[in-house]
Amino acid sequence: MWKRILLFGLIGLVLGTAVALFLFRKELQFLDFGDPVFTEEIPESRPKRLDRRELARFSDQSMEQILETLANEKLSTARPEEVKVEPTTTERLLASLPDAPLPFPGEAEPSDEKWLRDFITSMKKEDGSEPTADELWQFNLALAALKISPDQLPESLRQNTNPENESDTLSVRFAMRESELIGPFAIGNFDGEPGPEILDQGGGRMSKLAGAGSPIPLDSHALRYPGNGLYPSDFDSDGDLDLYLTRGDGFPDSLLRNDGSGQFEDITIETGLLSFRDTAIAAWIDYDADGLRDLLVGSTDQPLELYHQTEGGGFQPVAWDLKLWVPRGVDEIVVSDISSDGFPDFFLGIEGLPDRFCANRPAGNWSDWRFEDIIAEAGLSYARNGSVTVFDFNNDGATDLLVNSEKGELALYINQGDLNFLDVTSEIGLPNFSDITAIAPVDMDNDGFQDLVVGTGPLQINRVLWNRGGLALREISVTSGISFLDEPVEIVGSDLDQNGASDLVYRNRSGKIRLFEASGDLQAWTRLQLSELVPGTRVSILVRDSDWILHPIERVVGTKSDFTVGLGDADVIESIKVFYPGDTEPARELQKMVPNQLLEIELPERPKKRATVPIG
């Protein structure tokens, strides 16, 4: 009898424990026995979410409540007195020099003349050793700022701080426009009114940019909880720019839906995107070409995630399902259809692991979809530990690759199709610059060929390379007027005042944003506004010049439905054809148009290609 009683007692204890664990599962999070340690090997089963405790903790709170709680906690744990970090000599010198391009104009004055004079007198070597190259350059910059002639120096100490214009034929110059903008930033038409806006302070402020003069803040459009990265896209295809905002440092990112007037609603939780991680980068990508924008998110502390957008507007994580596995450290994502098959590929920069160039490998069954690293296959060894810029150098409609290697060496690969790339670095005269911090392709003179704006480290001038018809590059750093010394880390070309010229915007290491307005004798242009924004859409333009010579110009649409295209010496636009990604027949074709005007192109709706991804 006693055995039976003991048996029933044990059964009751087990059942009671199970019921208690179920009823109090939220309060018993401490029974979670630690996080898995992820390696490069793909887990055999769906891995635990590393933020599962935070998700459980905030399961009954709104996004506003979550952000407010975390902000208050961070404030309460902050040290009463932060340790003051003294600026380095480089930072102090940069702050004391004139806020002007090199060579410093005659009217440019240093911001701290006394410090510069003290710096010069302190450069004397007491031990008699020779100054380094960096020290000599800094010494000469200080002299130039104080307008002290280098003729007073021994020839061995002189450095050229007065470089001459490289070209008399470039007709475009850039003049800095005054602003108090602070990064991170994003540019786009957010409010539906004519002209673009700029979101700065990580989304904390919106300013109007249309017309000349300084940006005008629109206080009613500010976001309460800004972020460290802004990624606009019309994810819901309703005609206005929405925003994915990253925050990092354990704060959740936000998906913000635009109501069409520039007012944003946070829909992160209801779309399935709530996550707590140290986000470093994000990118919109329609990886399966179903017409719905998906989302790639990389972070320093969690695996890369690919969120598939469903037909209902929600997002499902599918990276592990598709064997797209990077355990952590993704800090760069560049999306482009380099194979021209209609399915976007992407480059991943990974801290602590070899970088990857993932070619999209579609399949009839969604679960068989794969992304293959093609760096070795395509001969792109330079890209294994570097960074990549995608643009069409020779204007043939194929995406070429500019690679900045781990050693700081530039290489240009021309896309010959079928994932075959030709290294033309030496043939086109591509120079090498030390300590490259940012690169942006921009057609500065509207000749139809994209030039390169290159940001370099502190106290080195920004570099500009003029694309000479897709055959060679020529440096015009001083001629362009943007040869500042302040280390750009993000560069964007955009027609801010919608006059057909590509203006420049860049953010430097300290967060300051510079605006440069293009002026001069520009060539012909057209501004296109597409009714449907499908990233990867190809626009093929055929123009005829005064000598009746035809010139083709190709562009691929990114995240903007309206953009300016330089047309060179065009007298007439013979045709404009718009192709959806992967299509060989144009979705819309226009003929015989006049340059130098806005053209609105109404596109037919692209048919959906695939049903919602099921997740088990």
Q: For 344-385, write each residue's pLDDT tens digit.
A: 999 999 998 989 999 999 998 888 999 999 988 877 776 677
Give 550's Cβ-side CA count (13 Å radius).
7
Q: Which of 176, 164, 204, 192 is nearest to 479 (CA)?
A: 164
- pLDDT over 50 at 26, yes or no: no
- pLDDT over 50 at 29, yes or no: no
**pLDDT value at residue 427:** 94
SS3 state of residue 357: strand
- pLDDT over 50 at 571, yes or no: yes
**pLDDT value at residue 610:** 56
Residue with tokens 């003294």: 86
**pLDDT value at residue 28:** 45
Q: Give the DSSP H/E element, type plus range, for residue 75.
A: helix 63-77
User: What CA–CA distance (Å, rounded) separates 141 from 98?
Assistant: 10
User: What CA–CA distance (Å, rounded) separates 115 from 123?
Assistant: 12
**pLDDT value at residue 171:** 87
Contact call for residues 233 and 274 (beta carbons, < 8 A):
no
Task: Spell out the SS3 assignment of 91-141.
Answer: HHHHHHCCCCCCCCCCCCCCCCHHHHHHHHHCCCCCCCCCCCHHHHHHHHH
Percent of the chain with pLDDT over 90: 62
Of 123-132, 139-148, 237-246, 560-569, the least confident: 123-132
For the chain, give the mean pLDDT. Answer: 88
Q: Give the DSSP H/E element, type plus range, for residue 566.
A: strand 562-568
Q: How does residue 566 score in pLDDT terms, banded at 50, 70 and 90?
A: very high
Q: How does residue 23 score in pLDDT terms, banded at 50, 70 and 90?
A: low
**pLDDT value at residue 212:** 66
User: What CA–CA distance (Å, rounded) separates 438 from 421?
Assistant: 23
Predicted TM-score (pTM) of the model is: 0.90
**pLDDT value at residue 608:** 63
Q: Render pLDDT for 430-473 as a digit per residue (tens, 0 to 9).
A: 988 888 999 999 999 999 999 999 999 999 999 999 999 999 99
Q: Which of 431, 436, 329 is nearest to 387 (CA)?
A: 436
